[in-house]
A and B are shown apart, each in its own frame.
Chain A
């Protein structure tokens, strides 16, 4: 009997570790491949060194960090909304970030730092707005948050369309590229920023895994088990939004990483619960792989990484939904 109990509890603990190790190996492997190691061993000109140190290396590091940040944030959102389609977008995240970026490009002059800052503010502000509207009597039910988020996102979408029609053509192109998501402008200061955000925000979120596991079983049960649900919801939402906004300020709101990575992680680990660490690792793999594809899929033409994750993520999501439909779960 005891062996059965132990088996029941631990069977699902070995796979996540294996998946984690696999993801780290894969992420580092793709990262190394993207760094074009061949050139490292041949004689490098000073121009090559510059390209490697100032363009390639920060780009790969940002892909890893942003992928992990967006995916972790997505996993937290799916857990908190108890909805497999949850992502920071539930709080109007992408639209808010886009509004911020558009204002940065069209009104504030479009310097890289300004766009990053205004996008960050746009994302965080729209999330805060959704939370405050959804909150009633100190409580924000999951569905209410999602519904208010859809409404606010639609409004911000209108604002964005207006701003784009008002912008001149080069501003509009710059904004569109940012909204699609791109790793082109990656810098070392961006790496430092994302690493700092990850170092500050990821550990508490990962520590919240246990609480999120309880939260997933429903509001009443979680409260009955002594969880302060509204406190968890507010603090985890805030941390996840800031983490995703910081990532997006450097890369743009790269489509689907937040939505897709947790699903891939769950399928790989087959573990219950929010799967935060596996999700983050899968996100890192996903973005660094998407960036690699973006650069090499079409010779002599680089795609914006967001277009690749959109294609891959969208395809995967459709596959997932079709499969769940076949097994009768939707």
Chain B
């Protein structure tokens, strides 16, 4: 697990000695992290452990106070912003839905890094928008105002927008928050499909069982440090849950998927 500092990172997206501080508080300290190419990586950990912070730094939305994020072996801070935007897509936790926007318009905004300052939408842009609408199953909602959609439909539209950015790496910050269970599974199935199609997907999730079921690579964090990383089957143990959440739990096999299933113990 100890990466070699002398050689460059092995994967396309990685962090070395990453330190992130807000005004008076260091949230992440000297963190080394690899996002395996082609993986569906899920970041888990208790509230405030720094998992969203790390994700935002990977998308260079946050400027680290120390260390470096590497994209394809190059420090991301030095890369042209348009190049990064064509390689790494980010769906943040609380994007702002512009007033009066339709679904198709919203998704079309994902094409921004592919357009010049003067160029209007190209036929290629329109094709990609259409494909993304269909991939997310909201083709028939294209002309509807976002304000009229349900929470689940709205989240699909946002994911379609991130997809329209057409990046090989896709970062999603808690994409299932505020959705009911059926819509959560729906969004995760969609993410899994995007991953199978060849994208590297990184998501922050709260639900450990969903993380175990969908992730190919799990990163567990606490207090701004990584506790464990690896495939869910070997990584998600009772010890880890205890360490990360101070929560005594049993791990059994998920009868549906065969992945680890976390059952919190009953307190008496």
A2 interface residue per 8 A CB criterion: yes
Distance (Å) between the CB of A50 and the closest chain B CB? Answer: 45
Say whether B110 contacts A213, CB under 8 Å: no
Chain A binder among B129-137, B221-229, B253-261: B129-137
A213 touches B92 (CB 8 A): no
Q: How far is the CB of A323 from chain B (nearest CB, A)?
A: 14
CB distance from B84 to the nearest CB of A (A): 7
Which residue of B92, B97, B121 has the most chain A CB atoms within 10 A of its CB atom? B92
Contact with B along A1-45 (1 / 0, CB 8 A): 110111111011000000000000000000000000000000000
Chain A residues with Cβ under 8 A from B28's Cβ? Answer: none
B196 within 8 A of A: no
Taking the closest CB of chain B, its distance from the CB of A82, in whole angstroms, is 7
Task: Give CA–CA (A319, B103) in the complex, Å.
Answer: 29
Q: How far is the CB of A320 from chain B (nearest CB, A)?
A: 13
| Residue from A1, A226, A270 whose CB has the most chain B CB atoms within 10 Å | A226
Is B92 a contact partner of A220 (Cβ separation < 8 A)?
A: yes
Q: Contact between A272 and B99 (Cβ–Cβ < 8 Å)?
A: yes
The interface-forming segment of B37-45, B53-61, B243-251 is B53-61
A122 to B94 CA separation, bound complex (whole angstroms): 38
Are B98 and A7 neighbours in the complex by a CB distance under 8 Å?
no
Specify which chain A residues have a CB less than 8 angstroms from the CB of B110 in the assembled complex: 225
Q: Is A273 an interface residue (CB 8 A)?
A: yes
Question: Contact residue range for chain B?
Answer: 35 or more
In angstroms, how far is the closest chain B Cβ from the Cβ of A279? 14
Asked whether, in the complex, the Cβ of A2 is within 8 Å of the Cβ of B130, the reply is yes
Cα–Cα, bound, A42→B88 (Å) = 70
A228 contacts B81, CB within 8 Å? yes
A210 close to B61 (CB less than 8 A): no
Asked if A224 meets B90 with Cβ closer than 8 Å, knowing A4-B143, A218-B96, A271-B100, the reply is yes
| Residue from A137, A216, A266 with most neighbouring chain B CB atoms (10 Å) | A216
Q: What per-residue 1/0 map shows which CB atoms of B105-126 lie under 8 Å from chain A?
A: 1001110110101100100001
A223 proximal to B (CB < 8 A): yes
| B235 is an interface residue with CB less than 8 A from chain A | no
* A312 on interface, CB distance cutoff 8 Å: no
Name the contact of A218 in the complex, choosing from B81, B86, B94, B126 (C-beta under 8 A): B94
Is there an interface contact between B143 and A272, defined as CB atoms closer than 8 Å?
A: no
B61 touches A220 (CB 8 A): yes
CB-based contact B139/A223 at 8 Å:
no
Say whether B102 contacts A216, CB under 8 Å: no
When distances are taken between beta carbons in the complex, the residues of chain B under 8 Å from A192 are none
Cβ distance A319 to chain B, nearest Cβ, rounded Å: 18
Interface flag for B252 (CB, 8 Å): no
Contact of B92 among A4, A224, A226 (CB under 8 A): A224
Known: A5-B129, A5-B133, A226-B81. 14 other contacts (CB 8 A): A4-B104, A4-B139, A4-B143, A7-B142, A82-B96, A217-B98, A221-B96, A223-B60, A224-B165, A225-B109, A225-B112, A225-B113, A226-B85, A272-B99
A-B complex: 6 closest residue pairs judged by Cβ atoms = A226-B85, A8-B104, A224-B90, A220-B92, A8-B143, A272-B101
